[in-house]
Amino acid sequence: MRRIGTTVVALALAGATIGATAITASAAPGGAARAATSCPTGWGSMTKGSPDAGAVPLADVRTGRHDCYDRIVFDVPGGGGHLGYFVRYVDRLHQDGSGNHIPVNGGAILEIRLAAPSYDPETGGVAYPGEVAKPLPGVSVSGYRTFRDTRFAGSFEGETQIGLGVRARLPFRVLQLSDRLVVDVAHSWS
């Protein structure tokens, strides 16, 4: 019986090792084989949030493409690592305050709210030049595997609201880094 248990453990470890270091047999341009990317799983698609507050304005929004996910980054200089946020899938994006519907292209809509206004709270001047119901300025998601559209929904009572159109309801994660908030949306569920 002990031998069977040892064999089962050895096979499980071997399977995990093979799965983690899988090689794709498909040839890359030039005839060289390339390693398959092992993508993380377990992020889920449920609402994620942090009640932390914010007192400094949003400065910039940018996106990036990675092997396993598409990324949107919100730069908030002076925000530290405790920026309040709320990220969830919604059926339709409705602007805070007015309740107006803002159309967002894609198979699913991720609503992102962060505790950083698009205006300077001290002067009232524009800090981030987004226009309500328009794509995010300087952000193009053309050619992304998961992202389809971005829409600025405005700032209301110290929070900025963004609509992110994605291909489908896919798992996502939220990372708080010093002076920025990062939202990654996976390319697939596996």
The predicted-structure confidence for 19-58, as pLDDT tens digits, reads as follows 333 333 333 344 444 455 678 678 999 999 998 777 799 9
- pLDDT value at 16 more than 90: no
- What is the model's pLDDT at position 36? 58
- pLDDT value at 134 more than 60: yes
Q: Are strands 93-94 and 60-65 parallel, antiparallel or unpaired?
A: unpaired
DSSP class of residue 119 equals B
- What is the model's pLDDT at position 77? 94
Nearest CA-CA partner of 58 in 162, 166, 149: 162
- What is the model's pLDDT at position 42? 85
Confidence of residue 190 (pLDDT cuts 50, 70, 90): confident
How much is the average pLDDT of 114-140?
Answer: 95
Please calculate the CA angle 153-173-105 and round it to the nearest 5 degrees.
40
Over the stretch 152-185, which tens digit does the pLDDT of each residue have? 999 999 999 999 999 999 999 999 999 999 999 9
Identify each DSSP E strand in 91-179 by its residue range: 93-94, 101-102, 108-114, 147-156, 159-166, 172-177
- What is the model's pLDDT at position 84? 93
- What is the model's pLDDT at position 82? 84
- What is the model's pLDDT at position 7? 34
How much is the average pLDDT of 82-109?
Answer: 96
16 phi, psi to nearest 5 deg: -65, -40
Tell me how far CA of residue 65 lies from CA of 42, 50, 108, 129, in angstroms. 20, 25, 19, 23
Amino acid letter, residue 123: T
- What is the model's pLDDT at position 12? 39
d(CA 114, CA 130): 14
For the entire predicted model, the pTM comes to: 0.80
- pLDDT value at 126 more than 80: yes
